[in-house]
Amino acid sequence: MSVIDEVKQKTDIVEVISQYATLKKSGRNLSALCPFHSEKNPSFYVYPERQSWHCFGACNTGGDVFSFIMKKENIDFGEALRILAQRAGVEIPSRSAPDTGKEEREKLFRINEAAAVYYSNLLVNSPGAENARNYLKERGLTPETLSEFRLGYGLDSWEALKEYMLENGLTEDELVEAGLLVKSEDGRTHDRFRNRLIFSISDSRGRITGFGARVLDDSLPKYVNSPQSPVFDKSGTLYGINLASQAIRQQDQAVMVEGYMDVISAHQNGIKNVVASMGTAVTERQVSDLKKMTRNIILALDADTAGEEAMLRCVDYENSLDIELKVVVLPEGLDPDNVIKEDTAKWQKFLDEALPVVDYIFSVVTATLDLTKSSDKQLAVERLGPVILAKQNPVIRAHYMQKLANHIGVDERTIEATLGRMRTAPKLRERKTESLTRAVQPLLSRPVEEQFLALLLQHPELKKVEADISPEYFENSENREIFIAWQQAEDVESLKESLDSALLEHLENILGKNVLATEINERYNRYVLRLKEDHLRGLARKGEVERNATELPGEQDIQVSDSLRAVFNEKARRGAGKGDKNDLGKL
């Protein structure tokens, strides 16, 4: 069984979503006020039998547990998988754990160093890097900063770096291993970082572990990183750590931001205790690496990244690593880069106002509740109680118990009695894991989704066929992700490059499926209709549930039945009607 399937099987969507929304019974299903948009009447539904969710309100979207976490935490599929795997107690095998010997690592550092010299030379001197130089000048970066951070530029060429490195005695295999070249199935190789501004990423000793690169125009994907290698691991990387460690030790404080540019601009303005996480969620490894320099860590995040789930993980880090984590969320439209450029005193003021992570969770949770209502008081105890109980230090625990009592206007003894009934647990995540492993879910796979993707991927010419097909038709997130990535990919090779590594196994399975080579266009059209019909039928079923609950025919029901009628007409026109819904052989 694949890791994705194992996580699915050990995850109950109801338990996951009930952390973000107050679910109420609604027939066989559950409803809630939508956690993604604000509303007065519930239009958000969870379907335990299908392990899916749908918002019939402003969002008008739905999916499985992965797409829920991706949307809620604003993260990609791989991160969502890692979060859910951790909850479910499923270990994700680390891909490619080749020789991590010292010699091997040193060789990779040397190759990366040579590439960094090559890229930064291009940024300074190449006519092709003119737009990059202009961009950096507009962002106010000085030549000293560019060289301190070893910024570079990759030419708009498939082989420029390759040729240069081969001339300097390196082999293609070595360059592929360092992640600088991409090898396609036919064995040919090309440069990974093309037409991009390049950020060199170093370890704390200044050795270059990998690169991050972004485009300066609209082309896709916007960001490309080095792949995992014996020296590069995204989840253990802190951008800027080599330049920040001294200041972090001196000031006994580290500030973690989200973007490369935020770090660079902070340093240029004399604020040197700043590093960036690589991507979205803060990881345990990053925090434990910082702990070697300071116990005081401030996270300066977007509201999107500072979701409740991510912050609960931070409480776990705080407890298990014995550190102090504070959180500051900048007002919408502001990022560290523009705050610092405008006024470093203003930046300092934000940091001074950072909240301890537990207080931050208090504010996030209570903001969604009406604490004059008794039911919401109970919810506050249920959601904040475990956070308080997880604190080891009795003084700190008492402090937050008092705070909760004041917040909801209920005396501490009553709260303690309520919490006594809930189990105490040292680790928030472990508690959930225990209760989750008991709820083993049946696997709900949809062969039609995978058959369709197999046809699509094995016949790239179908990309040009116009069809009314939406990612929403895919209920399984892994299929939806592959479909979305395929729309932006040039070929299977670039698809593999752009996909999260967690999805590669699933992709290989799809590519390995037997697909009939006849009537390709015809079968393609029938699949599209079939997916659309299933999707609409699902919506109609879900809509009926909703109508029974509210006794009002929703506007969407009418739209759904109109669209379904159109599908039936289309099927009749193609002579594929007569209820052959399960006749996969015909497809």
* Min separation Cβ 42 and Zn ion, Å: 10
Choices 49-57, 122-130, 257-265, 549-557 (CB under 5 A): range interacting with Zn ion? 49-57
Taking the least distance from each CB to Zn ion, the nearer of 56 and 260 is: 56
Identify which of residues 34 and 306 has a Cβ nearer to Zn ion in the complex.
34
Residue 360 CB, shortest distance to Zn ion, in Å, is: 24
Q: Per-residue b/e over 413-450, b at no fewer than 16 CB within 10 Å?
A: eebeeebeeeeeeeebbebbbeebeeeeeeeeeeebbb
Residue 41 engages Zn ion in binding (rule: CB under 5 A):
no
Q: Residue 132 in 3-state DSSP?
A: helix
Nearer to Zn ion, 59 or 166 (CB): 59
* Binding-residue total with Zn ion (CB under 5 A): 6
* DSSP bridge partners of 62: 54
Minimum CB–partner distance for residue 36 and Zn ion (Å): 4
Tokens of 278: 């690589």
Site string for Zn ion, 347-366 (x = CB under 5 A): --------------------
| Rounded CA separation 393/401 (Å) | 12
- In the three-class reduction of DSSP (H, G, I as helix; E, B as strand; rest coil), residue 237 is classed as coil
Which of 350, 346, 514, 319 is closest to 425 using CA atoms?
Answer: 319
Q: Are 11 and 441 in contact (CB under 8 A)?
A: yes
3-state secondary structure of 99: coil
Of 37 and 423, the one with the shorter C-beta distance to Zn ion is 37
> Helix, strand, or coil here: 356?
strand
Q: CB 34 → Zn ion: shortest distance, Å?
A: 3
Cβ neighbours, 10 Å, residue 360 = 23
Q: 81 with 24: CB under 8 angstroms?
A: no
Q: How far is the CB of 72 from Zn ion (least distance, A)?
A: 11
Site string for Zn ion, 17-36 (x = CB under 5 A): -----------------x-x
Q: Name the amino acid, one letter, at 312.
A: L
Q: What string of H, E and C letters represents the secondary structure of 56-86? A: CCCCCEEECHHHHHHHHHCCCHHHHHHHHHH
Closest by CA to 16, choosing from 363, 309, 314, 303, is 309
Q: Which stretch binds Zn ion (CB under 5 A): 11-19, 54-62, 384-392, 550-558?
A: 54-62
Residue with tokens 């572990």: 209
Cβ closer to Zn ion: 159 or 472?
A: 472
Which lies closer to Zn ion via its Cβ, residue 40 or residue 573?
Answer: 40
Q: Which stretch binds Zn ion (CB under 5 A): 52-60, 150-158, 247-255, 312-320?
A: 52-60
214/36 Cα distance (integer angstroms)? 29
Report the nearest approach of Zn ion to the CB of residue 37 (Å): 4
Does 37 participate in binding Zn ion (rule CB under 5 A)?
yes
Is 54 or 432 the residue whose CB approaches Zn ion more closely? 54
Instruction: Give the 3-state secondary structure of 432-462.
Output: HHHHHHHCCCCCCCCHHHHHHHHHHHHCHHH
From the list 56-64, 189-197, 260-268, 513-521, the region that binds Zn ion by CB under 5 A is 56-64
Q: Which residues lie below 8 Å from residue 137, measured CB to CB, with a gap of 6+? A: none
Pattern 506-535, Zn ion, x by CB under 5 A: ------------------------------
Position among 3, 59, 92, 405 found at the interface with Zn ion (CB under 5 A): 59
Minimum Å gap between C-beta 20 and Zn ion is: 12
Q: Considering the rule CB under 5 A, would residue 427 count as an interface residue with Zn ion? A: no
Q: Which of 34/299 has CB closer to Zn ion?
A: 34
Q: Which is nearer to Zn ion, 57 or 538 (CB)?
A: 57
Q: In the complex, what is the shortest distance from the CB of residue 470 to Zn ion, in angstroms, rounded to a whole number?
A: 17
Which listed residue (30, 55, 178, 231) binds Zn ion by CB under 5 A?
A: 55
Residue 221: asked if its preceding bond is cis (omega within 30°), the reply is: yes
Closest distance to Zn ion from the beta carbon of 55 (Å): 3
In contact, 123 and 151? CB cutoff 8 Å? yes
In whole angstroms, give the CA distance from residue 262 to residue 583. Answer: 55
Q: Of 34 and 281, which CB lies nearer to Zn ion in the complex structure?
A: 34
Give the binding site for Zn ion (CB under 5 A).
Answer: 34, 36-37, 55, 57, 59
